[in-house]
Amino acid sequence: MLVGKGFSNRFLTLEETQGILRQGVEQAGLRNRRVLLILPDTTRSGPTALCFRTLADALLPQVAALDVLIALGTHAPLDEERLCRHLGITLEERASTYGRVGLYNHDYVHDLTLLGTIPAEDIAALSNGLLHEALPVEINRRVLDYDHLLICGPVFPHEVVGFSGGNKYFFPGISGPGVIDLSHWLGALLTNRWTIGRQNTPMRELLNRAAALIPRERSCFAMAVVGEHDLAGLFWGTPELAQAAAAEISARVNIRWMPHPFHTVVSVMPDLYDDIWTASKGMYKVEPVVADGGTVIIYAPHIDEISYTHGAALDRIGYHVRDYYLAHMDRFAGESRGVMTHATLVKGAGTYESGVERPRVEVVLATGVPRERCERVNLGYRDPASMDLAQYANREDEGILLVPRAGELLHRLQSEQAEWPER
């Protein structure tokens, strides 16, 4: 069963949004059940606070237990104050109205349980022969303490899986490193330019297969978000059905089809992102419209760290094109393939032949990350103080694209549109 609605020409009203949330709760039949609400972290836009308060207010009078788990993947945890701000509640409300609700961060290294193993033959089939290895499927052990797992999160074009949301909140949202590494590496092998904005991908099939191993009821509120909080669509159902419905709307409102490539793209990153690991979406979402030999500038003066979680690893391996890593896998055997995936998706498409690396585009950081570190990890540097963003605005006819609040709106070429899958 699928509940909800979506539009490409207007946003849902507050009344419509709350009505769908309450209708989904009613259809889920959660009275006297133990419910774990799985929510995105602060790097994802959407009305998370509104959803939490509406769902909690509807659930608390009827469920045996309600707790929240933040689907961090490998992102840094949120402290109590940031958690409350993210959920739209005060510390006083946390202690009173929502005192029964446990708030937890996912830890992708500890507190895991093994659900089962996907055989190597199945991985080979799912990946069209790109990978042939068994996949132990680990997830946060907390899921086994509940009767019903309820996801609520946005669906955007995504560099690894095509469109985010749905079962991606389990894998990699609250999973162990094995699933994170393998699913992301498969995305790296297929490349961002092929994957991003496609609904039906090998990675989506892999995540759905892994989620089928979870021995608990699962349902999902999937949102098509525009800007910071506006909803073009909201659906409740199984994670598979709800995500697919939201992806159909997201494809209409979160893909901008451009008439020609650009030699210079400036991605202005909002405060939503606090390191290059998360702000790298400023490259992913524009790479398809950058001309060969062009430049992407990630503009984020507020960012001074490459990755709070994986910075040391990225200092070791640097940012390189996919074929560079494939040619040196013996050297990188001890490194996380998830980290290598980030590095190669940021570097973008390119070649590595006869010991010479040739990226298709240049990626430049105009951030607080020092020049020396940018050069050490094989990325370009630009002093953000030297840039006047107004000089890049309204020059698309000249091959210059300024993207304000970059990171969520995908840019692709109109020349691809006729043959592009609708979902």
Mean pLDDT rounded to a whole number for the chain: 95
The domains located in the chain, with CATH, are 3-253 (3.40.50.11440), 256-417 (3.90.226.30)
Contact 332, 314 (CB under 8 A): no
Q: What is the pLDDT of residue 76?
A: 82
Report the distance separating Cα 288 and Cα 411, nearest Å: 7
DSSP state string for 107-173: -SSSSEEEEEEE-HHHHHHHTTTS----EEEEEEGGGGG-SEEEEEEE--EETTTEE--GGGGTTTT
C-beta neighbour count of 109 within 10 angstroms: 8
Name 388's Cβ contacts closer than 8 Å, sequence gap at least 6. none
Nearest residue to 323 (alpha-carbon basis) of 284, 294, 349:
349
Segment 356-382, tens digit of pLDDT:
999 999 999 999 999 999 999 999 999
pTM assigned to the model: 0.93
Q: Residue 257: helix, strand or coil by DSSP? A: strand
Report the distance separating Cα 285 and Cα 278, nearest Å: 12
Nearest residue to 275 (alpha-carbon basis) of 99, 75, 40:
75
Contact 352, 321 (CB under 8 A): yes
**Would you say how long the chain is, in residues?**
423
Report the distance separating Cα 417 and Cα 259, nearest Å: 10
Report the distance separating Cα 340 and Cα 177, nearest Å: 13
For 292-324, b/e burial (b = at least 16 CB within 10 A) is eebbbbbbbeebeebbebbbebbeebebbbbbb
DSSP 8-state code for residue 10: S
- In the predicted model, residues of the chain with pLDDT beneath 70 are 422-423
The amino acid at 271: D
Q: What is the pLDDT of residue 297?
A: 99
Using CA atoms, how far residue 396 sits from 256, 259, 261, 367, 371, in Å, is 13, 10, 9, 23, 29
Nearest residue to 57 (alpha-carbon basis) of 18, 27, 20:
18
Burial class (CB in 10 A: 0-12, 13-18, 19+), 413: middle
